[in-house]
Amino acid sequence: MSRRASVVPVDRHNDGVLRVRDDSVRKMSATPDFAGKDFLDAKEASSAEKSMSVRDSLRLYKKAVSYSLIMSLAVIMEGYDLSLMGSFMGYDAFKRRYGTEVDELGEPIISAPWQTGLQNGVQVGSIIGLYLNGWVSEKIGYRKTMLGSLVLMVAFIFLPFFAPNIETILAGAVLQGIPWGVFQTLTVTYASEVTPTNLRAYLTTYVNLCWVMGQLIAAGVLRGCSTIEGQWSYRLPFAIQWVWPPLIFVGAWLAPESPWWLVRKERYDDARKSLRALTSPGTNLPFDLEGQLAMIKATNELEKAMSSGTSYLQCFKGIDLRRTEISSMAWVIQAFCGAALMGYSVQFYREAGMSEENALNMNIGQYCMGFAGTVGSWFLMRRLGRRFLYLWGLLIMCGLLVVVGGLGFISNDNEGAQWGIGSLLLIYTFVYDITVGPVCYSLVAEIPSTRLKIKTVVLARNFYNIGGIINNIIMPRMLGPNEWNWGARTGLFWAGACALLVTWTFFRLPEPKDRTYGELDVLFENRVSARRFHKTRVDQFSGDHLEIVPDDISSGDDRHFAEMKV
């Protein structure tokens, strides 16, 4: 028996609530996946999700949280190796083995072109991996893509570990970058799709915490290995990368597929199984599995009505263009707010006049501050929102960079100035990792539509990687004694960049806090300005237009029906 639904014109209300546009609703009303009881179940599920406390969400979705935490550990490897490679530029044992020229004192160094090549090799590999991930993960799913990437990672670690020359290290950097490109986006996308609205910020920013943990582990390993003589001083840090893939592989093997991906593939039975595997209904918390599935289907149908297709090209069309711009700029800001100084911190400290021991100690302190900052962001985001933290974080970092740049004019002759620069860079790291660093991951997971999410995040991350390539070209020259030799004065350059980014953030970055994906779709469809996002009331499931209701609603209801077959 076919389902029949009533489609009713609703009088225009003046209640200040933003609703789905008429043309989108007409398209949705033509599909049985968005009609009758499914529609009402989706509405109830959306209300229940938004009203649930963080504690209750953690109890209900504890399995989803566990799987997301395990998958995100893959980012530790990327943070570890990128920090490792940047720190090796100021690491004596590595420079003696792979140095390409000597400085004015006759000591071996890695030349600026080779520093650029090594760092950009990772970025090139990541760009390749990211674009592949956009196609592969949408084709075979997030889980299988993660498993394959982990296998490749284990194989590619052999190259830097046994590298006889710097050319082999470069080849290893490019190949390792391919699975890292997958980890960069798949982890944050998976986290955003298996957890409810009020847990999204925590699980997506946890990806940044994994990045910081990787950097912190690298700093500690380098400090410990600095006393080892010979080749194991740098080979052992490379070998530690083999620790992570087997652990993450087991977790990814047990993890269920994203129910959002399964709904996009119209595998509704598998989506039900996935939702059961991600939740713990026995916790006596209100949870309607069919309602949750209906909400995912409703949002998917809404996005299909707003824009057709899931190709990369669609990311640059219509309302999706704005979402791509915001996601991309959120990550570009990470690249050009001065954070590049952290990746070259050991070399930065050395060029400011510190000894290797003190530079490595400051490097460890820097990432400890980053860890504390990321954890602190979890509390601030819930109260203050993403936009506030981004804007004020950039303003504070801009001021710190101005002071660092000013001290750079006297640091080589003044030990107090050297420690002042180091201390300010620690404060900068804390500010970065309590604002821009982690909040970026939440933004890029929330802003895109769910149908285009993986591809939008891929594009956004690749804009970040392009920014990284630019940084890797100019940073060695800014800091290199045989190049521009700016030292700490580099801070002034990045302070100017920060000022420009503050302007974009104020006018273009919206606030997605506490919004469901469907509500965000409505806000973007109606082209609400960035500064009004957090003030606008939204109802995805009613409108000034049409509302879909089941046939068996009582005649006493105040709606007037116009019957339509679906």
Query: What confidence score (pLDDT) does residue 19 get?
Result: 59
Kindly tell me if the per-residue pLDDT of 31 is higher than 90.
Answer: no
Kindly tell me if the per-residue pLDDT of 240 is higher than 70.
Answer: yes
Render pLDDT for 275-290 as a digit per residue (tens, 0 to 9). 999 988 766 667 778 8
- Spatial separation of the C-alpha atoms in residues 405 and 491, rounded to whole Å: 4
Only one residue has tokens 């938004």, namely 50
Render pLDDT for 510-543 as a digit per residue (tens, 0 to 9). 999 888 888 888 889 888 889 888 888 877 666 4
Tokens representing 150 are: 């982990």
Backbone φ, ψ for residue 262 (5° rounding): -65, -40
Which residue has better confidence, 506 or 481?
506
Only one residue has tokens 């052999």, namely 158
Question: For strand 546-550 and strand 4-9, is the pairing parallel, antiparallel, or unpaired?
Answer: antiparallel
Tokens representing 97 are: 């083995």
Reported pTM: 0.79
Q: Which domains does the chain have, with CATH numbers?
A: 4-51+262-304+526-550 (no CATH), 60-255+307-508 (1.20.1250.20)
Tokens representing 295 are: 């909400």
Query: What confidence score (pLDDT) does residue 9 get?
Result: 34
Kindly tell me if the per-residue pLDDT of 430 is higher than 60.
Answer: yes
Give the pLDDT band of residue 399 (cuts 50, 70, 90).
very high
Share of the chain above pLDDT 70, in %: 81
b or e along 521-533 (b: 16 or more beta carbons within 10 Å of the residue's beta carbon)?
Answer: bbbbbeebebeeb
| Count of beta carbons in the 10 Å neighbourhood of residue 554 | 5
Residues 204 and 146 sit within 8 Å (Cβ to Cβ): no
Which residue has better confidence, 183 or 346?
183
Tokens representing 546 are: 């049409």
- The mean per-residue pLDDT over the stretch 167-179 comes to 90
Q: Strand, helix or coil at 4? A: strand
Only one residue has tokens 């020229």, namely 101
Cα 152–chain centre separation: 22
b or e along 155-183 (b: 16 or more beta carbons within 10 Å of the residue's beta carbon)?
Answer: ebbebbbebeebeebbebbbbbbbbbbbb
Kindly tell me if the per-residue pLDDT of 185 is higher than 80.
Answer: yes
- Spatial separation of the C-alpha atoms in residues 373 and 216, rounded to whole Å: 13
- The mean per-residue pLDDT over the stretch 152-178 comes to 90
